[in-house]
Structure formats: structure tokens, C-alpha cells
Amino acid sequence: MRRIRRTVRLACAVVVAGALLAGCGPSGGAKDREGALTGMDMQGAAERADTMLYETVGAIKPEIEWVHRATTTGSCDVTRYWTVMTVVSEQRRGNFLGVVERFWKASDYQIKMVNPSTDLPTIIATSPDGFGLRVSFGYKGQAFFEVTSPCVEESKVAAPSKVANGRAYEGEIPTPNVRSDFWSAETPAPGSTPSP
């Protein structure tokens, strides 16, 4: 399982790095000689990532429960990770990903990759200001969100200021454990056509 996660993370990093190197970087700010986005530091990038995540999960109806998972920093970037605690059945994962993809497209995010795998479905996108976004399903059908900033000025990064809408967990976050009448139903969503 760890090997699969590492492979998916590496694929995401390659896609995001390729997009940035290909000139799909920020359109609203200038870059300095080293390619860093001027006028934004890591804390600002983390807050921007949080906003993108809040907006994305806010578009998912019925509401899902999620928790903050981690924040990581590189030499000039920051990544926020969220974990979905709502059980999303295999029959409803396509609906879930469809809602996210439609919202990202409506937000002018460019869809870079869609992996329709039944085991590890994933969507990777890039925002107009150069942030990389990913939604994926992993072990036990748990959904994860990730947003990585472009290169920004180095700074300290605080934990997210807004409390997650799910319960707080001490230690390791468990597999999804919140039932939803809609998302956890083991039948195709009304009005959707089952996959062949």
C-alpha cells in the first residue's frame, strides 16, 4: 500500500513540476530569477491552499466530513493534506469525483489527469495561479485531498486556522467511519447510469 501511495505522490509531483516548468505557473504574480512567486510566502500559500480546499469540499453536496491530515514544506513550496471521514461507497465514487471535477473546471482549474481506476481513482488539476490539486481514493475507499503551492518565498507555516468539520483524532486518522445516506449508499446514485 505504501508503494502505491508513493507512486501516486511521485506522479502528482511530476505532473505539478512539469506544469510549472512548462510555463503554467502563476498568472497573477511575477516570478523572480529563481522562479519563486513574488509577493507570496509559504504561510500565504498555505492559506491559499486552505481556501481552495474549503471551496472544493463546500461544493460537495450532501456535505462530507473531513479532517486536516498534514502540512509539509519543501525548499520553496507547501502542501496541505485533508482526509475525508465520510464513507464513499464504490458505487458513489464516480459521483463524488464528478462533483469535484465539475467544480474545478468551473473554477478555471486545468484538469491534468483523470485516473478512472476502480482501486485508486484520482484527479489531478492545476489552478490558474500555479497550485497543484489532487483528489484520490486509497485504502478502504478513503478519499484524500491535497494542494501543493508553486515556489514561493520561504517562511514559517502555521496550522490551518479553521477547524475541520469532522471530529478530532488523537494520533493516526482512522479509515472512513462516518455514514451518509447518500455517499455511503451501495447503489448507483438516482439518475446516474451504472458503469458497464
pLDDT: is 5 or 58 the higher one? 58
pLDDT, mean of residues 20-45: 57
Is 115 a member of any domain? yes
pLDDT: is 169 or 4 the higher one? 169
Is 177 a member of any domain? no
Q: Is 56 exposed, middle or buried (0-12, 13-18, 19+ CB in 10 A)?
A: buried
Report the predicted TM-score, pTM, of the whole model to 2 decimal places.
0.79
Is 191 a member of any domain? no
Domain membership of residue 67 as a residue range: 2-22+34-153
Is 56 a member of any domain? yes
Is 84 a member of any domain? yes
What's the number of domains the chain is made of?
A: 1
Is 11 a member of any domain? yes
Is 91 a member of any domain? yes
Is 88 a member of any domain? yes
pLDDT, mean of residues 105-118: 95
SS3 assignment for the chain: CHHHHHHHHHHHHHHHHHHHHCCCCCCCCCECCCCCEEEEEHHHHHHHHHHHHHHHHHCCCCCCCEEEEEEEECCCCEEEEEEECECCCHHHHHHHHHHHHHHHHHCCCEEEEEECCCCCCEEEEECCCCCEEEEEECHHHCEEEEEECCCEECCCCCCCCCCCCCCCCCCCCCCCCECCCCCCCCCCCCCCCCCC
pLDDT digits (tens, 9 = 90+) for 49-108: 999 999 999 999 999 999 999 999 999 999 999 999 999 999 999 999 999 999 999 999
CATH number of the domain at 18, please. 3.30.2030
- Res 182 pLDDT > 70: yes
- Res 37 pLDDT > 90: no
Q: What percent of the chain is predicted at pLDDT more than 90?
A: 69
Question: What is the per-residue pLDDT for 11?
Answer: 45
pLDDT: is 20 or 145 the higher one? 145
